[in-house]
Structure formats: structure tokens, C-alpha cells
Amino acid sequence: MDARPDRIHARRFIAAWLVAWSALVTTSTAQQPPPDATWVADAVVDVERSITDTGLGAVQGVVVRDGMVYAYGDVFQAAPRVGVIREYTEQLKPTGRVVWLRRNGEPLITHPTGLTWHEPWGTLLGDTVKSAADPTRSRAVIYRLDWERAWKDGDLDEAVLDVVEDDAAINGCRPEFVTLGGRPLLATADYGDVRPEVRLYDPTALLAARRSSAPGVVVHRVLSGPFNQNLHWDAESGQLTCVQNVIAGRGWRLDVLDLTRAVADGRVEGPKVRVRRLTFPAHDELEGYWPLSGQRGLFAIARRQDNVFSGTFRETKPQPSPPEKRLSGAETP
């Protein structure tokens, strides 16, 4: 009797088992929290109002537009994974309105990073996805959207106006419109700690070329701090806030820069470039920040509870914040 069919069956069984085992190990590894470390914290946040919205998945940012709050996230638990934008009142009460970042029933934007708008270009939203070729890097894509149509339809079926490859990015994108010397520009910044930059693009040239590496698109480059999650532009003060992690995947930091001086020097570490830098004791992951008034702001944190909240930050005496000492940098009443 020929034993080859049995051997073939055995080899197929072993191969299938190895594939399943590999997938299980990969999934288990991906769910492990990032390595932790000790850093010096010099600020805390007094929480005023917080919400837990699991419908955001891993929240990635928060903005205020036309008197409403919009939080966006990566709904990683959905099948298939997809991005989302949800609307709230200024008191963080959900209105029930939502835009799923899918087109024709398929996910289009899965990991939204950076929501910004400026006439005449309209609304831009970034998407940062891990590179299949190099898992240590992320592919960055910027979408120009019809904001009103997206909310009318609840999806992006008819709302995508332009798609731009942000291939000048080192590690992901987080677009934010700024103004420099009276000229509107589009800022973005890199995650990671290997020569991260804040780059300023010419919006018209960017949309015409549909890629940020095209000649004439990059107007300025500034060597920045590491682990940029988001950007916020204050037109009145001329200051750009880099919303950052302290280490990869952990911590809260707000690095506020004088943009004009940053561009002139080419480094955030240049003389009088940094207005202030606040580091909080939290060891979870800050994703977004939007100032409200004075030292009040909205915070978006990638965690299971209280993932969007408003509060007032205050500076404290610098002190070490060791791993797992605190679950959050927020003080609750």
C-alpha cells in the first residue's frame, strides 16, 4: 500500500497547525502593551467632564468645529476594521450623528490621524497605516472630503474629493492648516524618534501633485520632538502645539512652539522656539488635544474608559513618574 497520501496529509496538517499557531502568536504579541519607562512629569489635568464612548474604538483625535465637538477613532474591533467620526455637543453629549469612514461598503480610512479645514481647500483628514513592507514605518494618506456630504450620507461614498500620498512623511501624517507670514500652509508631523519633522506644505501644490514628495510641495522642514500624535494651530498667538507621547505608545506631552521662530531656526530646540513643554504623569496614550480657553482643553486618550474628557491643566513641581505608578495623568474630584 502506498503511504504517500498519509505523508502528504500529515505534512498538510502540520503546515496548517504552524500557520494557525503563528497567527495566534502574532495576535497575542500585537495586543501586548508597549514597553514602559520612567520620566519626569511637571503637569496634571483637573477633569471637569468625561465620557466613555466605546463606539470610537481607539480614539485618535478631537476637534471643535462650528460649536460642535467631533472625535474620531479607529474601530479596530469592527469586522472589518474601519475609522469613524462622531459628533457631540460642547458638553460632550452624543448627538447620535456619525460618519463611517468607508466607501461603497468597504473601509477606506481605518486609522484617522489629523482633521483640519481651511477655505478654499475644505476639509482634510489623514490616515496612517502600517507599511506591509516595513512594519516599523507607516504609510500616510491625506483625503480631501466634502464635509457636508459626508454627514448627509453618513459615509464617504460621495464625499471623497481628492486623495494625496504623503510620501514625504517619515512615519504617518497628522495634517493641520497653519498660517506663516500671511500664507496658509498645511503642517504635518512624524511619529517615532528617528529625526522626526514638522513639515509645511503648499496646499495648492500638494493637491495638484497628489503626493507630498513632488517638487515645490514641501516649503519648510523643522526637526521636531518625537512621537507626534496630532497638531493644533493657534492663529491668534502663532503657536503650534505638538500633541505627543513621551515614549513610543505611552505618555502625554504638549510641546508648544513659536512657528515663525521654529521655521527660521529649523529646530524646535532652537533659541526661543519652544514656548513651553508640559509632561504629564499618565502612562496611557494621549492621542488628541484641543484647547478651549485659558488652560482648559479637550483630551482624547486611547483607553477603555473616560477616553474623551475636558479639563484644566496646571503645572506642578517636577517629579518622576515611574512605570504603572498611575493609570492616568488626570485628577478627578
In order of start, what are the domains of the chain with their CATH numbers? 35-327 (2.120.10)
Contact 80, 105 (CB under 8 A): no
pLDDT per residue, tens digit, the chain (333 aa), is: 444 444 444 444 444 433 333 333 333 334 567 899 999 999 999 999 999 999 999 999 999 999 999 999 999 999 999 999 999 999 999 999 999 999 999 999 999 999 999 999 999 999 998 777 776 677 899 999 999 999 999 999 999 999 999 999 988 999 999 999 999 999 999 998 999 999 999 999 999 999 999 999 999 999 999 999 999 999 999 999 999 999 999 999 999 999 999 999 999 999 999 999 999 999 999 999 999 999 999 999 999 999 999 999 999 999 999 996 555 555 544
pLDDT of residue 20: 36
Cβ neighbourhood burial of 50 (10 Å; 0-12, 13-18, 19+)? middle
**E strand or H helix at 27:** helix 4-30
pLDDT of residue 32: 66
What are φ and ψ of residue 140, in 5° steps? -115, 130
**Measured between alpha carbons, how far is 59 from 304 in angstroms, rounded to an integer?**
10
Q: Would you call the peptide bond into 80 cis, given omega within 30 degrees of 0 as the criterion?
A: yes
Handedness of CA 99, 58, 170, 241 (dihedral sign): positive
**E strand or H helix at 64:** strand 58-65
pLDDT of residue 12: 45
**Measured between alpha carbons, how far is 11 from 235 in angstroms, rounded to an integer?**
65
pLDDT of residue 139: 87
**E strand or H helix at 256:** strand 253-258
